[in-house]
Structure 1
Amino acid sequence: MAALKNEVKSFIVQALACFDTPSQVSQAVKQEFDIDVTRQQVEQHDPTKRAGSHLAAKWQTLFNDTRKRFREQTAEIPIANRAYRLRALGRMAEKAETMKNMALATQIIEQAAKETGDVYVNRRVEPDKSLDEEIKRLEIEKRKAELKLIEKGGGNSNAQLLADLIARLPS
């Protein structure tokens, strides 16, 4: 294993700091510098890994500074923005529909629903209510439904107990 020049080491450390895998970095070094480096050799330049635990302070500082800058700039990457992803999914869904590929359109619509959160499920939490109030409301609805089932079954003493419980719950 030949010693790497500082330029190559810097490239490796910065790529690892941007969350590239050792395999990706190894391939990038081959393309950029025409040097073959193994995954293990690349991993020695990652201070977050056991193999890189003895990395020189100079390279650790470069790694930490690059990672910090990368995390701060992630918001500037378009695909990291939900609105951008939703617009792209919208364009894809329209194209799938024009191609009469309804299965793909359905998958894209499902992905967009997942992207937006609670829209995919049949549940809405009102913004002015707290989560505890929403849980209480759902419990009341559940108990009312159970009461209706019991009443349809012949109206026994359990129905009366449930009715008493429901009466005690805050509305």
Structure 2
Amino acid sequence: MAALKNDVKAFIVQALACFDTPTLVSQNVKQEFDIDVTRQQVEQHDPTKRAGANLAAKWRTLFEDTRKRFREETAEIPIANRAYRLRTLGRMAEKAENMKNMALTAQLLEQAAKEVGDVYVNRQTKNENPHDNLPPTRVQVDVVDARKPDADA
């Protein structure tokens, strides 16, 4: 396992800080620098992993700064915002309904329900009388044969 240059180490640390997997980082290092690094070697540059517990302070700082910036920038991406996704799904559902594409409309409505967390929830309105909301404890069904004349009549 050859020692890595600082630019390669910085690339690895920043990629890991952006939540790339060690396997993906190893592949990207091969493409970018034409250097073969193992997944285990990459993992040594992640201070959140046991293998990276002894990572030098300058790389740990770079990792933490990069991760913080990455998380802040992610919040600025419109599609990462639930309100944006719901507005877009709403527009798409309206357009699909106007086109009489009910299957697509149903899928979009289902996706919107998943987005807000109310997946397949059947909420019924409560009646004024609290006893009306209780499920029946006993149901009686009388089977009447319409072909027989009623004996009591």
User: Fold conserved (TM > 0.5)?
Assistant: yes
> TM-score w.r.t. structure 1 length?
0.64
- Once the two structures are overlaid, the 10-residue window that deviates more, 76-85 or 4-13, is 76-85
Gaps of 5+ in 2: 141-153
> TM-score w.r.t. structure 2 length?
0.70
Tell me, yes or no, if the aligned pair for 1:118 and 1:124 is still in contact at 8 Å. no
Counterpart position of 1:82: 82
User: Rg: which structure is higher?
Assistant: 2
Residue 29 (1) aligns with residue 16 (2) = no
Gaps of 5+ in 1: 126-136, 154-171
In the TM superposition, 1:37-48 aligns within 5 A as: 37-48=37-48
- Structure 1 residues 118, 20: closer, same or farther in 2, change over 3 A? same
- Structure 1 residues 15, 96: closer, same or farther in 2, change over 3 A? farther
**3-state SS of the aligned residue for 1:48?**
coil
- Structure 1 residues 58, 152: closer, same or farther in 2, change over 3 A? closer
Amino acid at match of 1:112: A
Counterpart position of 2:121: 121
- Structure 1 residues 44, 151: closer, same or farther in 2, change over 3 A? closer
Please give the alpha-carbon distance, in whole angstroms, between the structure 2 residues aligned to 1:101 and 1:151.
39
**3-state SS of the aligned residue for 2:71?**
helix
Counterpart position of 2:110: 110
- Once the two structures are overlaid, the 10-residue window that deviates more, 87-96 or 113-122, is 87-96
Structure having the larger proportion of residues in helix: 1
- Once the two structures are overlaid, the 10-residue window that deviates more, 111-120 or 93-102, is 93-102
Provide the identity percentage.
73
Tell me, yes or no, if the aligned pair for 1:22 and 1:42 is still in contact at 8 Å. yes
- C-alpha deviation, 1:30, in angstroms: 1.7
The one of the two structures with greater contact order (alpha-carbon pairs below 8 A, sep at least 6) is 2
Deviating above 6 A after TM superposition, structure 1's stretches of 4 or more consecutive aligned residues are: 94-97
- Structure 1 residues 2, 99: closer, same or farther in 2, change over 3 A? farther
**Residues paired across the two proteins, number:** 138
